[in-house]
Amino acid sequence: MKRFLMGGLLLLHAFAQDPSAAVEGSILDRTGGAIPGARVAIRNLGNGFTQSLDSTPAGAFTFPVLPIGQYELTVEKNGFAPYKTPTLQLNVNQTLRLNILLDVAMAHETLQIEADSTLVQTGSSVLGSVVTHREVSDLPLNGRNFSQLGLLQLGVVPMTTGLTEQGGSRRSGHAYIVNGQRPESNNYLLDGSRAVNRIDGGFALKPPIDAIEEFKILTHTAPAEYGGASGGNTSVVTRSGTNALHGSAYAFLRNDHLDTRNFFVAETEPLKQNQFGATAGGPLVRNRAFFFGYYEGFRNRQGITRGSTVPTTQQRAGDFSHALSSLIDPTTGQPFPGGLIPASSISPLAQSLLKYYPAGNSSPSFFSSTQPLANDTNQSGLKLDFLLSNADTLSARYALSSGLAQNPFSILGADLPGFRVEDELRTQLFSLTETHIAGAFVNTFRGSFFRHWFLLERRLSGLAPRQLGFQYDSTLDFAQGAPFIIINGYSNMGDPAIGPRDTTQNDYDLQDSVAHASGRHNLKLGIGLRRTQVNSNQGHYANGAFVFSTTPSNDSFANFLLGLPSQFTQAGGDFYRGLRSRDFNLYFQDEWRITPSITLNYGARYEISTPFSEINNRLNAFAPGRQSLIQPSAPAGVLYPGDPGVPATIAPTFRKGLMPRLGLAWDVTGRGSTLLRAGYAIFYDALVNGVGGPLRVATQSLPWVTVRQVTGSVNFQQPLGPGPFTSGVFALPMSLFTIAGDLRPPYAQDWNFALQQTLGNQVIDLRYVGTKGTRLPRFIDGNPAVNTPSATAANANRRRQYAGCTSLTQPCTLGYAALVTGGENSTYHSAQAGITRRLQSGVAFAASYTFSKTLDGVSSLHIAGPAPILVSGEMDLAQNPFNLSAEHGPSLFDARHRLVMHGTYEVPTLHAANRLVQSLLRNWQLNGISTLASGTPFTVYDSRNVSLQAPIPPVAGTFASRPDLIANPNAGPHTIQQWVSPAAFRRLNAVTEAGQFGNEGRNVVRGPGLANLDLSLMRTFKATERLDLQFRAESFNALNHPNFGLPVNDLVSPNFGRIVESGPPRLLQFALKLLF
């Protein structure tokens, strides 16, 4: 036993997070006396695996680690009648407690009890719910994405419009936001192995619905075995083979002939979608070896409608006579006569680029079009389970997902047609799990390898700078495309400034845990190690990016026609990086049943997560005034790994990551009908966790990559002159992107109080939930521009705090210093109420209501980045770099009210009806999900840069000065043409108030709410005794209610306040499934 225990302690794993359940209880006689030495056996009905033990002197028994599934439990003791339960359904992370009363043996009868005598887990203090296989397979899911069912739970809200649209495919794995934590802060497990995209956060591998047995989201105060993230923990368990052959084959069909049109288009958008697949599971050797495999294909061709702000016909010809203010001629400082730009003054290059701006069709300044999107994915997997002996089991699984998507609009580029991009990915997970039982000890070892390859936004335009008339070339063949052109207040043209991005993530993960039941204690210990590799090649401004603002003329589009950009950025060099990180984790936890009705759950977790290092030390640190010893020719302030006080990871490894977990569960009545829960826990998150977080700070390191920026007077055709990029040379001014040297991992504190009450077959759940996030990462400008009386937009870079300018004619030393710091906090308070009814008499339903308030200073890392338009009005930088506290306000995902209901109704058989009526109505089932939610917030901004800030293109693609707020912005008129009134804001005067900031708070305006109903109708036909045919009809947004997006929120735009996009209309889907 000592050898087993010591081996276990050496291999225990902190990431164990086993997808298992437990059964515990007491064996008593009818007087309440304990029965020691009773033989208790539990058998898996699917594969026949049996465990047995003797009850303790106190009559207690515990099976601490059981794979989820259906079981049967028996009890035998000399002098007592044998005891047998009906089927027990065990779900992931469930502890089922049974208090078993034995009668004195008078006859050889077998007694029966109800398997689930209570509907609540009386010993658990964790908040979260299981989504069963039936719910996963029966409820209507748009796209058949199981993670949508997470939104049915209390405290879980969807990604907001701004985050979803600006994140695009990078945030496709961010399934939901849990109790106020950022979407990138959730942890995802597939059969106990982590399947997380470490580069962008979120799910990297989502198995098809028909391959899932069940999943559970631990939304708050999870036990110590869970860690590595500060948000929710989602555990998905795939199906396994059994002694009976079982499986399915299915096909789901969508077609635009079945759909209604989007609110903003005249005709139904094209759609052809097919989703098809098969599953099969069964025995390889009866009672010994089993298999389960699956395949699913997805083929989608659809139209995407996008609205664009375009110049009017008059503006394209240089006619600004209808402008609200006179157009200034920058050569004279006086108005153009009649507001007309002479034809001779219009740039030939600009004139040739006008063809990429379509003419307005919805209005003179608004163009709407539907462009084709193509998306193909394939998923497959195989799971093998072996019962090696009564004490050992072995499980091996492999999962593969690949996909290719062509998008008509880039998430970081133009919202005009003509600049298509392509994403491609391939994700694999292999894991091996061995479980060994030795008396009261259960040891589980798991090793896994995870690989995620993702090519983001390969350019398909076929354009290049010289091809368009520019006199310079792209600095990276892999990224070649059209230069990106930002015209403030208008839609932008060109290929994205950032990317393409080619990344491969490799995770090597070893985990082990030991569970031990001793008296009133259920103990679990764990330890583990994970190594992460990220290999990346990502373009940055390889084709150049221009910004046209309201200087030198007072209209951005007029400056475009004149060929007078206010800013140009281009980067060149070696963009490849090899990043490495290690994680070590250790935990213990105990479920201590103090009394039969009071359980104390306590434990602690310790984590060490190293920041990423780079295989060739191609990283920078920022320390104003310090000179590097490693690179003596570097400008002062730019340091390198190996310089005094600068580790290979730039920020030091944090070694104080101790996380206590404490929870109390009180079964008030002792019968499982009333339960009070309370809990407190601390969770650390990964460092620099967010969209592209690990890469953003590495791929622009000096001097391997040089970012050149020109402001003020910019030559449109040849902004930098010949040969501006030479490898290893420090070209001035130097700009860098890195993490702060004192950056520490962020963490969250969870606390809650909950009451659960059973009423018949219903459970009522009332909760208060609170969360505080601390040291949350955000971007800042470490070298901001200082306002002076002579400040202009043109001299912003020379006004930087550490610019190092020696004269007006010589270049300065340092440009921007984009830093990731850990200075943000967040708070979340919520009242939550739910009711659940298990299926009985053909009816099941659940309702969840969440009333919450979330405050923070920035809602995610890398919200918009270099994107030129802010969908939610929030960019990654503070309006005032010297006043970060002014950013504190409602979070982007502050969902004050959210009500979600779902249910199932099995149409009863009319026994009194004739045979024909019975055959028509037999085996029908109706399922539905209804969602009501209040609007989420956004910020109104002014892209003119009245505050005269210096640009940081990799962090912010536009300026976002805020106006003064002079009236209630939520007073209306709340129409499609004018959701928010411009009269609620006062734009600062660009001349008399230059360098000042507006008083509008962040996220003070609310967008439209959400109302949606999804339905599915299905009937199962009995083909043979073991073969069923199921027909399904599903309707998404069944009431065809338009769910509007956020309005245009840039005050410069002629379409300010106008809503231009809507969610999907009513969509119909039909399917056939063959079940055996």
60 within 8 A of 83, measured Cβ to Cβ: no
Cα-trace Rg, the chain: 31
**What three-state secondary structure class fits 146?**
helix
Q: What is the rounded distance in angstroms from the CA atom of residue 295 to the CA atom of residue 280? A: 9
Q: Which residues, at least 6 apart from 888, have a Cβ–Cβ distance to it below 8 Å?
A: 855, 856, 857, 1002
Q: For the chain, list residues with pLDDT below 50.
A: 1-16, 107-117
Q: What is the rounded distance in angstroms from the CA atom of residue 197 to the CA atom of residue 692? A: 10
Q: What is the rounded distance in angstroms from the CA atom of residue 382 to the CA atom of residue 341? A: 68
- In this structure, what is the dihedral angle of CA atoms 727, 729, 732, 733, given to the nearest 10 degrees? 60
Q: What is the rounded distance in angstroms from the CA atom of residue 485 to the CA atom of residue 352? A: 14
Q: Which residues, at least 6 apart from 632, have a Cβ–Cβ distance to it below 8 Å?
A: none
Q: Looking up tokens 């979608």, which residue turns up?
A: 273
Q: What is the pLDDT of residues 99-152, one digit of tens each?
A: 888 888 764 444 444 433 455 677 788 888 888 888 888 999 998 988 888 899
Strands (E), 841-896: 843-856, 889-890
- In this structure, what is the dihedral angle of CA atoms 104, 106, 109, 112, given to the nearest 10 degrees? -30
Q: Which two tokens stand for residue 567?
A: 């800013």
pLDDT of residue 162: 78
pLDDT of residue 113: 47
Neighbours of 37 (CB within 10 A): 12
Neighbours of 784 (CB within 10 A): 22
Task: Annotate 109-129 with b (16+ C-beta within 10 A) or e (fewer).
Answer: eeeeeebeebbbbbbbbbbbb
69 within 8 A of 90, measured Cβ to Cβ: yes
Largest CA distance in the chain: 112
Q: Give the containing element (helix H, strand E) for 11.
A: helix 2-11
Q: What is the rounded distance in angstroms from the CA atom of residue 1010 to the CA atom of residue 934? A: 6
* In CATH, 2-120 is 2.40.170.20: no
CA angle 839, 844, 846 (to 5 degrees): 130
The closest of 803, 713, 710, 794 to 994, measured between CA atoms, is: 794
The closest of 1061, 1059, 1010 to 1039, measured between CA atoms, is: 1010
**What three-state secondary structure class fits 806?**
coil
Measured CA distances, 780 to 738, 748, 773, 785 (Å):
10, 22, 19, 12
Task: Annotate 539-565 with b (16+ C-beta within 10 A) or e (fewer).
Answer: bbbbbbbbbbbbbbbbbbbbbbbbbbb
- Domain regions of the chain by residue span: 2-120, 312-356
446 within 8 A of 433, measured Cβ to Cβ: yes
Q: What is the rounded distance in angstroms from the CA atom of residue 16 to the CA atom of residue 438? A: 18
Q: What is the rounded distance in angstroms from the CA atom of residue 662 to the CA atom of residue 749? A: 12
Amino acid symbol at 517: A
Q: Which residues, at least 6 apart from 790, have a Cβ–Cβ distance to it below 8 Å?
A: none
Q: What is the rounded distance in angstroms from the CA atom of residue 378 to the CA atom of residue 401? A: 6
Phi, psi (deg, nearest 5) at residue 4: -65, -45
**What three-state secondary structure class fits 25?**
strand
**What three-state secondary structure class fits 130?**
strand
594 within 8 A of 667, measured Cβ to Cβ: no
Using the Cα atoms of residue 461, residue 467, residue 468 and residue 471 in order, give the sign of their dihedral.
positive
Q: What is the pTM of this model?
A: 0.90
Q: Looking up tokens 């003596």, which residue turns up?
A: 632
- In this structure, what is the dihedral angle of CA atoms 183, 900, 124, 225, given to the nearest 10 degrees? -20
Q: What is the rounded distance in angstroms from the CA atom of residue 222 to the CA atom of residue 239? A: 24
Q: Which two tokens stand for residue 820?
A: 């990731």
Q: Give the containing element (helix H, strand E) for 1073.
A: strand 1067-1075
pLDDT of residue 16: 41
163 within 8 A of 860, measured Cβ to Cβ: yes
